[in-house]
Amino acid sequence: MSSNAADVIATSTSRLAVSGLSVGVVRSGIPVVADVTLTLEAGEVMALVGESGSGKSTTGLAMLGWTRAGLEITGGTVLIDGRDVLAMTSSELRSARGRLISYVPQDPTSGLNPAIRVGDQLREALQNHRGALDIESVDKRVLEMLEEVGLPSDDRRILRSFPHQLSGGQQQRVAIAIAFACRPRVVVLDEPTTGLDVTTQRRVLETVRSLAGTYGSSAVYVSHDLAVVANIADTTSVMYAGRIIESGTTVVLFDTPSHHYTRGLLAAVPDVDRPLRLVGIDGRPPRPGAWPAGCSFADRCPARRDDCRNSLPSLTSVDPKHAVRCFHPAEDRYQRMELSLASVSSRRPVLLAVRGLDASFGDNPVLRGVDLSVPRGDCTAIVGESGSGKTTLARCIVGLNGRWSGTITFGDLPMQHAGRERTGDQRRRIQYVFQNPYASLNPRMTVAENIDEPLRHFGGASQADRAAEISGALQAVALSDSYCERMPDQLSGGERQRVAIARALVVNPDLLVCDEVTSALDVSVQAQVIERLRSLQEGRGLSMLFITHNLAVVRSIAQHVVVVSRGRVVESGLTNDVLDNPQHAYTKRLLEDLPRIGAGSPPD
């Protein structure tokens, strides 16, 4: 590699060679992605990582010759086996997608047609891109596709099912099967495991890795989950404000990060094996149109100097397998800060007690004899795979699902089954944060109006007091008052989730029920949210029921953990006891499936 890594010219000898790729806003020309250059060999997996808005998804889509509405590709080349995707006509692109390059979206429901059965969609992918095939050949290949992604080929129910009749993990594997159907040269995967439980996530990662190796496909893996990246990617490129700011082999990059932004991302990653203080990166990345003349990270960087603001650093080689865009790269040893969680006291009164809770949907039992307690001022985590009953349990507790038996006691009083049967004070004191912020915020209300809604509902405060409460709630989740007049569709997924958390906090609840609230967040934002929730827990005695599939996050926030499998509690206890010395086989498997940074290089 030359001294200036940005000068490396992509060649046709690489499976994927991107040079000078730039994307801008139509008409204004404001850059969104600038001068991205990278290469990838056959069978390799490369990760694009960074915060929301860094340009990683835009870069991945541009490799397909496609942009979101309002954007356009303004320069560069994308060579796949020597063919320039960006020089193709519209008809050539349609033919190339699926065979030369394919795409797996973050949300499989957006990539699967809800009105067409799964089997027909798999056949369609083959017939559209592989030319005329006889029915017998197509049917045989469809069964092979199911086996390749770990779905039973002898279970015809999957082929006859509509997408909504499959689990999230099954939907994602079907989407991957379609992407690999015609054995493309390059596959772009945009956050394909976000929101999946660790066991399903591991299966999806193994599927991607296996298919890339089997067919010699190069995979571009867009993600904000650095632990996942550490377990699948051969190389990693870190993006910030539309540019690659550090790149190299994944092992080298994670062991000896040089850019202060990369170090900030790693400092925010939780570790299941030890409680760490999760440190978010202060400040916010500049938006397109507001990029500075110098380093875009300068305003947030602890090592900035005057020259950082005056000129843009080039991407310079640290060694043959490592390049960084920084005038003053870090040279000291990278270390993490240990954390001591709030002490657990057996004398703390129980705020929430669930005893013998059963819940069903029709004739199908979902929860069976569930017992759990949340002491006042403590956090109890509920973990388990998708479909284990975690969310159903949460909805029973907050009154959104009234079809349950058993007892739920809050404070000293038994709770009615349905929320509408409970008092206003009980509803205020238990607040719920939903997993999907796209569905939980009113799209016709501004951010301020969404947060103000519970204040108006419970009443008792003047408009001026409510405005102050809204401002304080936004600050608690690292958002400024400038967000007040924005609409939900103007926010990233991570920003929407922070608004949803602010809305729950604004009425000062005693118990916060968090349902997978960090699954869609950047690691830095996740760290800020976790640290803020932990601070509220310690500072004012906020109790939390924290539902998650991320056991690493549990280690950094929860004093107690309850493991649920198929609607039953299979193990519970103090967090350190359960995670350090699991007794149930199911808990052991969850811990084994969890991706870890430093667990070793990606498999060959």
Would you give the DSSP letter of residue 312? P
167 and 297 assigned to the same domain = no
Closest CA to 550 of 542, 540, 558: 558
Please give the helix or strand (H or E) that residue 31 lies within, else none. strand 31-40
In a domain, 154, yes or no: yes
Rounded to whole angstroms, the Cα distance separating 12 from 419 reads 63
Return the closest-CA partner of residue 520 out of 500, 534, 536, 503: 500
The per-residue pLDDT for range 559-596, each reduced to its tens digit, is: 999 999 999 999 999 999 999 999 999 999 999 888 88
Task: Judge if 164 and 224 occupy the same domain.
Answer: no
Closest CA to 56 of 492, 527, 550, 525: 492
Low-confidence ranges of the chain (pLDDT < 50): 1-12, 600-604
**Quick one: pLDDT at residue 214?**
87
Beta strands in 261-397 (DSSP E): 316-319, 322-324, 350-361, 364-375, 379-383
Phi, psi of 156 (to 5 degrees): -70, -15
Q: Are 360 and 567 in contact (CB under 8 A)?
A: no
Percent of residues in the chain assigned helix, strand, coil, to nearest 5: 35, 25, 40
CA distance 120 to 141: 13
Write out the residue range of the structural domain in which residue 149 sits.
115-183
Instruction: Assess if residue 4 is contained within a domain.
Output: no
Whole-number Å distance between alpha carbons of 383 and 569: 10
Q: What token pair was written down for 158?
A: 């999957």
74 part of a folded domain = no
Q: How many CB atoms lie within 10 A of CB 471?
A: 17
- Reading the block at residue 557, the tokens are 């926030």
**Residue 75, φ and ψ in degrees, nearest 5:** 180, 165
Alpha helices in 149-300 (DSSP H): 156-160, 168-180, 198-215, 226-232, 250-255, 260-267
Q: Do 276 and 207 reside in the same domain of the chain?
A: yes
Q: In what order do the strands lie in the sheet with 364-375?
A: 364-375, 350-361, 404-410, 413-414
User: What b/e sequence results for 6-22 when a residue is b if at least 16 CB atoms lie within 10 Å of its CB, and e otherwise?
Assistant: bebebeeebbbbbbebb
Q: Which residue has the tokens 């009425």?
A: 507
pLDDT of 603? 43
Give residue 344's pLDDT: 55
Q: Say whether both 208 and 175 belong to one domain.
A: no
Q: Check whether residue 228 and residue 365 sit in a common domain.
A: no
Tens of pLDDT along 15-70?
A: 999 999 999 999 899 999 999 999 999 999 999 999 888 999 999 999 999 998 99
Strand partners, 571: 563
Q: Is residue 566 within 8 Å of 364, Cβ to Cβ? A: no
Same domain, 205 and 171: no
Residues 418 and 519 placed together within one structural domain of the fold: yes
* Contacts with 253 (C-beta within 8 Å, 6 or more apart), sequence order: 236, 238, 246, 247, 262, 322
Of the candidates 464, 545, 476, the residue with the CA atom closest to the CA atom of residue 508:
476
180: how many CB neighbours lie within 10 A of its CB?
A: 26
Query: Cα–Cα distance between 252 and 260 in angstroms, integer?
Result: 15
* DSSP β-bridge partners for residue 80: 16, 83
Cα 200 to Cα 384: distance, rounded to the nearest angstrom = 11
Distances (CA, A) of 512 to 72, 114, 404: 43, 34, 21
Regarding whether 530 and 393 lie in a shared domain, the answer is: yes
| Rounded Cα gap, residues 78 and 37, in angstroms | 9
The whole-model pTM stands at: 0.82
124 and 249 co-located in one domain: no
The Cα–Cα gap between 390 and 569 comes to 10
464 inside domain: no
C-alpha distances in Å from residue 231, one per residue of 178, 198, 335, 593: 23, 13, 20, 11
Task: Tell me: do 176 and 59 sit in the same domain.
Answer: no
Domains contained in the chain, number = 3
493 close to 52: Cβ distance less than 8 angstroms: yes
Give the Å distances, CA to CA, from 263 to 238, 317, 475, 520, 523.
11, 18, 24, 21, 12
In DSSP terms, 246 is beta-bridged to 238, 324
Mutual orientation of helices 168-180 and 198-215 as an angle, nearest 10°? Answer: 10
- Asked if residue 336 is part of any domain, the answer here is no
**Domain-ending residue, one of 153, 183, 213:** 183
Pair 152, 48 in one domain: no
Last residue of a domain, one of 156, 183, 210: 183
CA-nearest of 168, 601, 547, 229 to 393 is 547
CB of 190 closer than 8 Å to CB of 57: yes
Domain end among 138, 153, 183: 183
Rounded CA gap, 220 and 237, in Å?
Answer: 10
Angle between helices 447-458 and 493-505 (to 10 degrees): 20
pLDDT of residue 439: 81
The pLDDT score that the predictor gives to residue 602 is: 46
| CATH code, domain carrying 552 | 3.40.50.300
CA distance 73 to 56: 14
End-to-end CA distance of the chain: 23
Question: Which residue reads 């967040």 in tokens?
Answer: 521
Tell me whether residue 194 is in a domain. yes
* Helix axes 168-180 and 135-148, enclosed angle (nearest 10): 130
Residue 346: predicted pLDDT: 54
- Whether 556 is in a domain gets the answer yes
Same domain flag for 123 and 260: no
Using the 8-state DSSP alphabet, how is residue 4 labeled?
A: B
Whether 343 maps to a domain, the answer reads no
